[in-house]
Structure 1
Amino acid sequence: MAHLLNSSFLVSSVPSSPLLVRSLKRRCPCLQSRAALTSTPPVTLRYNKLGDSDLLISEVTLGTMTWGNQNTEKEAHEQLSYAFDNGVNILDTAEMYPVPVSKEKQGNTDRIINPWLKTRARDQVIIATKVSGFSTNETSLRDNPKGTRVDAANIKESVEKSLKRLGTDYVDLLQIHWPDRYVPLFGEYLYDPSKWRESVPFSEQLQALHDVIKEGKVRYIGVSNETSFGVMEFVHLATTLGLPKIISIQNSYSLIVRCAFEGNLVEVCQPQCCNVGLLAYSPLAGGILSGKYLDKDSQEAKRGRLGLFPGYMSRYLKSQANEAVKKYAEVARRHGLTPAQLALAFVRDQSFVTSSIIGATTMEQLKENLSTYTLPRPLPAEIMSEIHDIFSTHRDPALI
Structure 2
Amino acid sequence: MKMNRLGRSNIDVSEFCLGSMTWGTQNTAEEGHAQIDRALDAGINFIDTAEMYPVNPVSAETIGRTERIIGLWFERDMRRSDVVLATKHSGEGLAIVRDGAPITSQTIPEAIEGSLRRLKTDYIDLYQFHWPNRGSYMFRKNWTYDPSGQLMLDTQNHMEDALGALQDQVKRGTIRAFGLSNESAWGTTKWLEAAARTGGPRVASVQNEYSLLCRLYDTDMAEMSVQEDVPLLAFSPLAAGLLTGKYQGGAVPEKSRMSLSEDLGGRKTARAFDAIGAYTAIAERHGLDPTQMALAWCKTRPFMGSIIFGATTPAQLENSLGAIELTLDEAVLAEIDAAHRQHPMPY
Query: Which residue of structure 2 lines up, in the alignment, with residue 303 of structure 1?
Result: 255
In the alignment, structure 1 residue 279 sits paired with structure 2 residue 233: yes
CA distance in 2, matches of 1:384, 1:348: 12
CA distance in 1, matches of 2:334, 2:245: 20
Query: Which residue of structure 1 lines up, in the alignment, with residue 136 of structure 2?
Result: 183
* Paired residues for 1:318-329 under 5 Å: 318-329=269-280
Whichever residue aligns with residue 166 of structure 1, its letter is L
In the alignment, structure 1 residue 396 sits paired with structure 2 residue 339: no
Give the CA deviation at 1:320: 0.5
**Could you say what secondary structure the match of 1:51 adopts?**
coil
Equivalenced residue count is 341
Q: Could you report, residue by residue, the CA deviation over 1:321-352 in whole angstroms, capped at 9, with x for unpaired residues?
A: 11101110111111111111111011012121
Higher mean C-alpha deviation, range 183-192 or range 168-177: 183-192
Whichever residue aligns with residue 293 of structure 2, its letter is L
Specify which of 295, 311, 314 is matched with residue 344 of structure 1: 295
Query: Which residue of structure 2 lines up, in the alignment, with residue 230 of structure 1?
Result: 187
Specify which of 133, 146, 170 is matched with residue 91 of structure 2: 133
Normalising by structure 1, what TM-score?
A: 0.82
Whichever residue aligns with residue 106 of structure 1, its letter is I
Normalising by structure 2, what TM-score?
A: 0.94
In the alignment, structure 1 residue 163 sits paired with structure 2 residue 120: no
Identity of aligned residues (%): 40
Query: Which residue of structure 1 lines up, in the alignment, with residue 330 of structure 2?
Result: 381
In the alignment, structure 1 residue 52 sits paired with structure 2 residue 4: no
Q: Could you report, residue by residue, the CA deviation over 1:270-325 in whole angstroms, capped at 9, with x for unpaired residues?
A: 1xx31112111110011110111113335x2x421122233441x22101011101
Whichever residue aligns with residue 10 of structure 2, its letter is D
Compare the two structures and name the one with the higher helix fraction.
Answer: 2
Whichever residue aligns with residue 304 of structure 1, its letter is S
Q: Is the 8 A contact 2:20 2:47 kept in 1?
A: yes
Give the CA deviation at 1:46: 0.5
Q: Alpha carbon RMSD of aligned pairs, Å? A: 1.5
CA distance in 2, matches of 1:68, 1:214: 33
* Paired residues for 1:237-256 under 5 Å: 237-256=194-213
CA distance in 2, matches of 1:115, 1:186: 31
Query: Which residue of structure 2 lines up, in the alignment, with residue 214 of structure 1?
Result: 171
Q: Is the 8 A contact 1:69 1:98 kept in 2?
A: yes
Query: Which residue of structure 2 lines up, in the alignment, with residue 204 of structure 1?
Result: 161
Q: 1:236 to 1:194 in 2, by over 3 A?
A: closer
CA distance in 1, matches of 2:310, 2:84: 16
Give the CA deviation at 1:94: 0.1
CA distance in 1, matches of 2:341, 2:96: 44
Whichever residue aligns with residue 247 of structure 2, its letter is Y
Q: Could you report, residue by residue, the CA deviation over 1:66-120 in whole angstroms, capped at 9, with x for unpaired residues?
A: 0000001111111110001110001000000001210011111011111211204
**Could you say what secondary structure the match of 2:40 adopts?**
helix
Q: Which runs of 5+ in 2 are unaligned?
A: none
CA distance in 1, matches of 2:121, 2:172: 14
Q: Which runs of 5+ in 1 are unaligned?
A: 1-44
Q: Is the 8 A contact 2:85 2:124 kept in 1?
A: yes
Specify which of 356, 362, 366 is matched with residue 317 of structure 2: 366
Runs of 4+ in 1 over 6 A off after TM superposition: none
Specify which of 92, 104, 117 is matched with residue 151 of structure 1: 104
CA distance in 1, matches of 2:183, 2:10: 23
Q: Is the 8 A contact 2:91 2:129 kept in 1?
A: yes
In the alignment, structure 1 residue 113 sits paired with structure 2 residue 70: yes
Q: Could you report, residue by residue, the CA deviation over 1:199-251 in whole angstroms, capped at 9, with x for unpaired residues?
A: 56211121121122222111110100000011111111111221110101001
CA distance in 2, matches of 1:184, 1:121: 38
Whichever residue aligns with residue 5 of structure 2, its letter is K
Q: Is the 8 A contact 1:182 1:195 kept in 2?
A: no
